[in-house]
Each structure stands twice: as C-alpha cells, then as structure tokens.
Chains A and B, each alone.
Chain A
Amino acid sequence: MTATFAMNSPDPGAAALELHGLTRRYPGVLALDGVDLTLRPAEVHALAGENGAGKSSLIKILCGADRADGGQMTLFGEAYAPGSPLDAIRAGIRVVHQELHMLDGLSVAENLQFEKLPRSRLGLLDRKAMDLRARELLALVGLDDLAPSTRVAGLGMAQRQLIEIAKALSSRSRIVIMDEPTATLTPRETDRLLQIIRRLRDGGVTVVFVSHHLQELFDVCDRVTVLRNGRKVATQPMAGTSTDDLVRLMVGRDLAERAPRRSAAPTAQRAPALRVQGLRYRGQRGHAALDFSLHYGEIVGLAGLVGSGRTETVRAIFGADAVIAGQVFRDERPVRIGGPKDALAEGICLVTENRKDEGLILDMPIRANLSLASLRAVSRSGVMQADAEADAARRMVSKLQIRLASIHQPVRELSGGNQQKVVLGKWLLRAPKVLLLDEPTRGVDVGAKAEIHALLERMAADGLAVLVVSSDLRELMSLCDRMLVMSRGVLAGEIARAQFDEEAILAMAYQEYTRSAGASCARAA
C-alpha cells in the first residue's frame, strides 16, 4: 500500500459523515443551533461563516474535543459520538489545527509517528521502520527532499503545516479537517497545499476546508456550507456561487434593527485625542503602516477578521507589545510609549482581549483587582490605605453595577460579564482620556453586554475617546460613530455611521484576502 489514504472507495452516493440537528449550548450563547450537514466521500467541503458563526464549535465536536448537547452524527453509516480526540482519530477523523502542536526538539519522523512509534522485536524504537514510514508520509505531501531526521525546531511554518497534514494521513484518516491552514503560508506555499488537497480528494479522502481567504475556497472546494449565528444557512456547489453570493450568505440579509444612538457631533468639530502616524507593529505584513486618529467624545470601531491586525494595533498603541515604527500623538503632541506605564501616564488604557490571562488576577479579591492600576491613589508613602481602597472599589462597583457578594470576594467567582466589568473598573478608576477595548463583550451575557455598551456611550458623551475592537459587526454598528476596517494588516477603509453597511464593511475586511494568490504575490514584490 503506497498511499495510505487510498481507501476502498465506498459507494459514491453514500455520505461520509452526516450531522443531524447538532446543537451546542455555552452559557449565554447558542454556538450551534440544530445544524444538519452531509459530507460526501472524496469531496473538498468548505465551511464558511463570520467570526463566531459556529465553525470552531463544529470542528471541536467533530474531532472529539467537545461534545454536542443534542443531535446525531453518522460516520459511514455508523453512529459516531467521539468522547475524546483519540476516539475521533481512531474513527478516521483528523484535524490540522490553526495553531500547530509539534514537539520542537524531536525529529520530523518522530513527530509524524509519536502517537504510534514503530518498535522492534525487543520493544526498542525501530528507527529504520520509522524513517521508512516517514519518507512515505512526507512524499504524500510533496516533502520528498526533507530528511526524516531533521529537527522540527528549524522548520518554517509551511513545512510544519505540511508535516501536520502528513501526520493526519498517517492514521488512515477518512476525513481531514483543515482549520485556516493557509493563514501563515506564502502564496506559493498555499498553491502547493491546495494541490495536495486535490490529490487527497482524488485518493478518496474527504477534506473540510476553513479559510478566510475566499479565493481559496473557490480554487479548491467542491461544495460550501455557510454557517451564521450557529445555524446552517446553506449548502451548495461552489460552481455557480459568486464571491458576492457567499458574502451575502455569511452576513445574512436580515439586518437586526439597531437602536438609534445619541447624535454625535461631527468628528471635525472635536479635538483629536489620539493620532497614529505610520504605525507598524511587529509581524505586520509587507510595508503596510497605519494612520488614523481618534477624537474626544467619539466611539470608533476597529473592524476586521480575526488575525487582521486589530489586536496588534491596539496593543502597539498601549505599549503592550513593541512597535517597529510610527509615532503616536496625544492632543497633537508626539509621545513616546515604551510600555504600558507610559501609555497610562498619557491617560491611555487598554482592556485586553483575554481577561483571564491579562486582565484579572482571578484568585485575588475584587477590590485588589480594581485598585491594581491605581495603587498610588489608595496608598500613602507606600502603605496601603484599606479604607481608601474599599471606597474606590465600592465606587466602581456601583458605577458599573457589578453584581457581587462582597468586594473581598475573589474575582474568579464572578460571572463573565461581571468579571469584564471589574476589568473596566480597573481602568476607569484612573479616569482615562483614551480607552482602547479589545473584544470587550466576548463571553459576556446579553444583559451585561448592554450595560457595557450603555456605559461606553455615557462616557463618550462625557468626552472620553473610545476605540473598540470587536468581531461582532452588529455590536460595532450599533455602538460606533465611525468604523475603521482592517484587512490583513492594512487599513482597508473608513466608514461613517451614516454609511454603515454590513456587506460593504465585510467586503473591506475581505479586501486583502480575496485577491488571488498571484495578485497578492505581485503586490508584495
């Protein structure tokens, strides 16, 4: 057997995998809402949808990392309910993850087979068999020239990606799921990967393909399933579908009615609180640089796909990560921000994306979390003033309506929404002039979300300059005065509130991704 994936093709009419009414509920969110889906043997099936549409939840359930709350799955006619990733691998379903999990210190051959290393009769590692098998697998993904003994640590992302795919093929996978496999690849590497995907399909494997790069979906996929808000919107052949059709399906025509907001004064009449000129963050693509300004009293949205550089931008402004180039102006005065300390001194605060790892100290009391960025205000010559700290904490608790039993309670015990309010409160205690927020309502229940929105609007009305990053386009559309749209590290456009249009914004967000591989190659050159 030369090609492991050349399974005996089952009868072509039968389904490889069928999902019926698959449902997954997280606290406050219905991630998957009765999804039906049929994958055919030997097809490349695109899974499309906006951020948060349910793609990741679906993949997690398919590969055994999570369990559905309802619905059935049938794999080649047999009931399929993986209890662990190992079950899924045994059943022949394999995921090539967005973030690769490789053992850097080990060789390519070892990484390919570490789940089942070949043994000699004495029970020792059979190196010869391991190398031989590794060569076979590497040949499958076009890495014929890579020595199996090479250490993974020295390899680039593209090679790692291909090795991961080869690994997926090592265990007689019948279904291979690729989650954003091209995100880190160059155009040429992408072309090669797409070729391999076609070969896999021709060998009888079903490939599920997820990518923000719509062009790739058209290049390689046979059919597409679009998810929106946890529901399946459509499954249709790729041929006969246009990019516009696809975007429309992903966004949906039924735009929710958004509540009218305070009428913001025209931007031009307000003084700029923050201006960014030629900003380049570490890892930014090509020669792109960012220029924009943020005025007092306005809420500006920073829209774009996950990975388009929104988080990097706000972190760079705050000094959380190093900046390569560019200048930040506060009140039209150039300022040097070498770290969070400098940003805070300039009245700039950042609510980070990841509140558990970066925002909160979960095991410490709520009052200590609230005062963490204002310790000087609640101490005298270095000695904490317990009363002052408690007063400050209570002020924020009532201002933000944080629901708690006591300010001495560890913040871990609060719900997601209330934890997020604690993060907000920590910064509000400093009375910021510029507030940057990265996904401020992620994992927050609907009620707390509305309260956070109301709070931001009130504070903007009081003159605060607010920049919000969010993957929830509707949130940005209801909250913001104008929107900046990022696409692959580039500021793709700016839209005023009067012109807000979901399709137009998404078209901008996809702008740099929908260019064909050749075009973006030429651009980079």
Chain B
Amino acid sequence: MLTPTPSAATAAAPISLRQKSSAALREAGIGVALVCLTAVFAMLSPIFLTSSNLTNIFTQISINVILAVGMTFVILIGGIDLSVGSVMAFSAVVAGTVLKLDGLDTGPAIGLALAASIGIGALCGLANGAVSAYWGIPSFIVTLGMLNIARGAALQWTQARSLYEFPDAFNDFGSATLLGAPAIFLVALALVALGWFVLNRTVFGRLIYAIGNNEEAVRLAGHSVRGHKIAAFVICGAMVGVGAVIYMTRLTIASPISGIGFELNAIAAVIIGGTSLSGGRGSIVGTLLGACIIGVLANGLILIGMSDFLRQMVTGFVIILAVVLDVYRARLARAVA
C-alpha cells in the first residue's frame, strides 16, 4: 500500500512541466507581441527604429513603468489604486516647495525633496491600505476617495499655481543620458529589478502572491494578511513619490494638475503585462513589457500619422484584447490540465 504508484507520477509529469513555466510562457507571449509590434512599426516608418526615437520611447514610458511597478504589488493582492495620478501631483508640489526653500544647498534640497515626495506618497498609500484593510472596504472605493483628496490637497497647497525655477542640477537629470540611455529610464529599470527581487526572492513577495490567491490559508498559517495588504499600498505610494520627482525633472515644473489619468495607464500596463485583476497571478517583468507595448503603440501610431483620437481608441482595444487573450490562455491551460 505504501509503494508509490508509478503511473500516477509519470502521468503528472508532462502537465507539470508545462505549468511550471506558465508564468514564463505568459511573459514570452507578451514579449513576442512587443517584438511583432516593433517590427510592424519599423516597416511602416523609417524613423521608428532610429536611436533618437527609441530614446524618446524609453523616456516617455519611464514614469509609467515606475508607477506600474507599484501598481503591480497592489493588484497582486487583489486591490487597485486609483489615486496614483492625484497623489503624484500632491507629492510633486510638496517636493517642489522643498526644492525652493531658502537657505538649502542644492544637494541637500534635492535629497530632502525626494524624501518628502516619497514620504507623501507612502503616507497616502498607508491611508489607502489601512482604511481598506481594517474596515474591509474595497480599495476601489477608498482610492477613489483618495484620488479627490490628494488632488484637492495639491491644489490647496499651491493655491492652484505651478512651481518652477528649480535648480539646474535637478532639471538636467530629466534629459541626462548614461551610456546612451536616458537616466530616468535607468532609474525605472532599477526599480523594476528591485520589484522583481522583492516579489520573487523574499518572504514578503511570497506572501503577496499567497494573499492574492488565498487570504484565509495565509491567515491560518499565522501571517498578518492586513499588514501585507497595507504594505503593498505603501509600496505603491512610495513608487508614486519617486515617479513624481522624476516627472518634475522632465517637465522642470511641479503642477497641481499633473498626472491626471496616470493611474489608468499604470493599470493598463499591469493588465497587458498579464497580471490578473483578481490577484495572485502576474509578474513585474510582464508589467515592464506591458508598459513597453503601450509606449511603442503610442509612439508608432504617431509616426504613421494616426490622429490623437484614433490612437486613444487603439490603446483601448489593446487593453481589452490583452485580457481576452488571457482568458483564452487560462481556458486552454485548464482544458489541457
């Protein structure tokens, strides 16, 4: 009775090999889509593959990549953060105020501004996470509230005025390059790498995935579900804080009306990247690829002369297409298993 049945073990083998690599497969699929898209635009437009245009694309997607990394954490636990764009504006105007404080040297001022921006973002995330975790309110509602609160706070803080005339060292970073790559894209890549490490190599990341799949099992295993949920929102908020400063270096101003709709772009990148809105499934690499697809699409469609309005429609179709494809992929996997 205690001898293993060999048939069971061998029968399970092919299924497991396929399943084991299902996440990698999903990423590969998105990667292929990105390559195809690039190839199509390269054929349609001679400018598309030039280094200056590629640099352009990377610069354009940097902010979205940073925001989407944070958003991935929130969506993995089964939440959503709609306040990202507003919080970014609030972080930016506070950072802008710090930058313009009298009597601070440039270096410390920039450091302090960055810290203030991240702090504001993390605080807003803490509020989002704590309210939704403690009272069990869907994060959709809580962050919708925060969307208004943070926007109002940003406008109140500056009396609806924009801040500018920041130190040159600060403004230059937005257009700086390192080894030919835009510095802000390198920052985004570094954050992607950090996010990947946390999600794939740490206990914290393991629990983020586990909570997204089955909260109750995680609770009964003695872990704090609330704590981890709140932490996911704090991470998202901190990323917004970084994104706000990077965005300021690009525009050289801090505007209380910036960032409108940025949350939707970040969510779109995460979803196109194959992360499930119901949580527990997805990856940071997918998110990066998702943001690239959105960026390539936006840039390529301009190059082939498509109007703003049509471009917006195409982006919408792509988001829906990505989710529909994912449904089919899941169905296929289930049918075979």
Return chain B residues, CB-CB under 8 Å to A412. Answer: 337
Q: Is the C-beta of B332 less than 8 angstroms from some C-beta in chain A?
A: no
Complex: chain A residue closest to B6, CB-CB? A403
Provide the B10-28 mask, 1 if CB < 8 A to any CB of A, else 0: 1011011101100000000
Provide the A406-438 mask, 1 if CB < 8 A to any CB of B, else 0: 101110111100000000001000000000000
Q: Is the C-beta of A405 less than 8 angstroms from some C-beta in chain B?
A: yes
Q: Is the C-beta of B2 less than 8 angstroms from some C-beta in chain A?
A: yes
Interface size class of B (residues with CB under 8 A): 35 or more
Interface residues of A in 314-362 (CB under 8 A from B): 318, 320, 339-341, 343-345, 350, 352, 357-362
User: Which residue from A373, A405, A408 sits with its C-beta under 8 Å from B221?
Assistant: A373
Q: Is the C-beta of A240 less than 8 angstroms from some C-beta in chain B?
A: no
User: Which residue from A318, A362, A405 sits with its C-beta under 8 Å from B9?
Assistant: A405
Of B125-133, B206-214, B253-261, the one contacting chain A is: B206-214
User: Which residue from A350, A384, A401, A450 sits with its C-beta under 8 Å from B220?
Assistant: A350
User: Which residue from B19, B201, B222 sits with its C-beta under 8 Å from A340?
Assistant: B222
Minimum CB–CB distance from B44 to chain A (whole Å) comes to 40
Minimum CB–CB distance from A168 to chain B (whole Å) comes to 33
Complex: chain A residue closest to B334, CB-CB? A412
| Bound Cα distance from A406 to B12, whole angstroms | 9
Return chain A residues, CB-CB under 8 Å to B220. Answer: 318, 320, 340, 350, 352, 358-359
Provide the B185-220 mask, 1 if CB < 8 A to any CB of A, else 0: 000000000000000011110110110011011111
Query: Contact at A401–B2, with CB atoms within 8 Å?
Result: yes
| Bound Cα distance from A260 to B219, whole angstroms | 39
Query: Contact at B210–A364, with CB atoms within 8 Å?
Result: yes
Query: Contact at A413–B221, with CB atoms within 8 Å?
Result: no
User: Which residue from A340, A343, A358, A361 sits with its C-beta under 8 Å from B210?
Assistant: A361
Q: Is the C-beta of A462 less than 8 angstroms from some C-beta in chain B?
A: no
Of A177-185, A269-277, A375-383, the one contacting chain B is: A375-383
Query: Contact at B217–A375, with CB atoms within 8 Å?
Result: no
Provide the A229-249 mask, 1 if CB < 8 A to any CB of B, else 0: 000000000000000000000
Q: Is the C-beta of B281 less than 8 angstroms from some C-beta in chain A?
A: yes
Query: Contact at A372–B4, with CB atoms within 8 Å?
Result: no
Query: Contact at A384–B206, with CB atoms within 8 Å?
Result: yes
| Bound Cα distance from A113 to B5, whole angstroms | 53
Query: Contact at B1–A447, with CB atoms within 8 Å?
Result: yes
| Bound Cα distance from A158 to B225, whole angstroms | 36
Q: Is the C-beta of B178 less than 8 angstroms from some C-beta in chain A?
A: no
Q: In terms of DSSP, what is the predominant structure of the interface of chain B?
A: helix
| Bound Cα distance from A100 to B48, whole angstroms | 62
| Bound Cα distance from A222 to B6, whole angstroms | 53
Query: Contact at B202–A363, with CB atoms within 8 Å?
Result: no
Q: Is the C-beta of A291 less than 8 angstroms from some C-beta in chain B?
A: no
Minimum CB–CB distance from B26 to chain A (whole Å) comes to 13
Query: Contact at A383–B202, with CB atoms within 8 Å?
Result: yes
| Bound Cα distance from A401 to B10, whole angstroms | 16
Q: Is the C-beta of B31 less than 8 angstroms from some C-beta in chain A?
A: no
Query: Contact at B16–A415, with CB atoms within 8 Å?
Result: no
Query: Contact at A409–B20, with CB atoms within 8 Å?
Result: yes
| Bound Cα distance from A447 to B214, whole angstroms | 29
Provide the A58-73 mask, 1 if CB < 8 A to any CB of B, else 0: 0000000000000000
| Bound Cα distance from A352 to B214, whole angstroms | 14
Query: Contact at B8–A415, with CB atoms within 8 Å?
Result: yes
Provide the A64-101 mask, 1 if CB < 8 A to any CB of B, else 0: 00000000000000000000000000000000000000
Minimum CB–CB distance from B282 to chain A (whole Å) comes to 12
Given that A340-B219, A361-B213, A413-B19 are contacting pairs, would A403 and B4 also be in contact in the complex, using a CB cutoff of 8 Å?
Answer: yes
Query: Contact at A363–B280, with CB atoms within 8 Å?
Result: yes
Total chain A interface residues with beta-carbon distance under 8 A: 44
Query: Contact at B5–A413, with CB atoms within 8 Å?
Result: no
Minimum CB–CB distance from A386 to chain B (whole Å) comes to 8
User: Which residue from A383, A406, A415 sits with its C-beta under 8 Å from B201?
Assistant: A383
Query: Contact at A413–B337, with CB atoms within 8 Å?
Result: yes
Q: Is the C-beta of A202 less than 8 angstroms from some C-beta in chain B?
A: no
Query: Contact at B206–A401, with CB atoms within 8 Å?
Result: no
Minimum CB–CB distance from A474 to chain B (whole Å) comes to 18
Return chain B residues, CB-CB under 8 Å to A401. Answer: 2, 4
| Bound Cα distance from A339 to B17, whole angstroms | 38
Query: Contact at A413–B206, with CB atoms within 8 Å?
Result: no
Q: Is the C-beta of A224 less than 8 angstroms from some C-beta in chain B?
A: no
Return chain A residues, CB-CB under 8 Å to B1. Answer: 447, 450-451
Given that A320-B220, A405-B13, A451-B1 are contacting pairs, would A360 and B214 also be in contact in the complex, using a CB cutoff of 8 Å?
Answer: yes
| Bound Cα distance from A104 to B214, whole angstroms | 26
User: Which residue from A384, A414, A451 sits with its C-beta under 8 Å from B202?
Assistant: A384
Q: Is the C-beta of A404 less than 8 angstroms from some C-beta in chain B?
A: yes
Q: Is the C-beta of A368 less than 8 angstroms from some C-beta in chain B?
A: yes
Name, among B204, B206, B207, B209, the residue most crowded by chain A CB atoms within 10 Å (CB to CB).
B206
Complex: chain A residue closest to B15, CB-CB? A413
Given that A368-B206, A384-B206 are contacting pairs, would A409 and B4 also be in contact in the complex, using a CB cutoff of 8 Å?
Answer: no
Return chain A residues, CB-CB under 8 Å to B210. Answer: 361, 364, 368, 372
User: Which residue from B8, B217, B218, B222 sits with its C-beta under 8 Å from A344?
Assistant: B222
| Bound Cα distance from A310 to B336, whole angstroms | 39
| Bound Cα distance from A79 to B278, whole angstroms | 44
Query: Contact at A358–B8, with CB atoms within 8 Å?
Result: no
Given that A340-B220, A340-B221, A350-B220 are contacting pairs, would A375 and B206 also be in contact in the complex, using a CB cutoff of 8 Å?
Answer: yes
Provide the A91-117 mask, 1 if CB < 8 A to any CB of B, else 0: 000000000000000000000000000
Given that A375-B207, A404-B9 are contacting pairs, would A358 and B201 also be in contact in the complex, using a CB cutoff of 8 Å?
Answer: no
| Bound Cα distance from A510 to B205, whole angstroms | 49
Return chain A residues, CB-CB under 8 Å to B5. Answer: 403
| Bound Cα distance from A447 to B2, whole angstroms | 8
Query: Contact at B217–A372, with CB atoms within 8 Å?
Result: yes
Query: Contact at B203–A375, with CB atoms within 8 Å?
Result: yes
Known interface pairs A375-B203, A405-B13; 13 further A-B residue pairs with C-beta atoms within 8 A, sorted by A's residue number: A320-B220, A341-B223, A344-B222, A350-B220, A361-B214, A361-B217, A379-B203, A384-B201, A406-B20, A408-B20, A409-B19, A413-B16, A426-B221
**Ordered nearest first, which 8 A-B pairs have the shortest CB separation?**
A409-B16, A405-B12, A373-B221, A341-B222, A405-B16, A344-B222, A405-B13, A361-B213
28 contacts between A and B (CB under 8 A): A318-B220, A340-B219, A343-B222, A345-B222, A357-B216, A358-B216, A358-B217, A358-B220, A360-B217, A361-B214, A363-B281, A364-B209, A368-B206, A372-B217, A375-B206, A376-B203, A379-B203, A383-B201, A403-B8, A405-B9, A405-B15, A405-B17, A406-B13, A409-B12, A409-B19, A410-B16, A426-B221, A451-B1
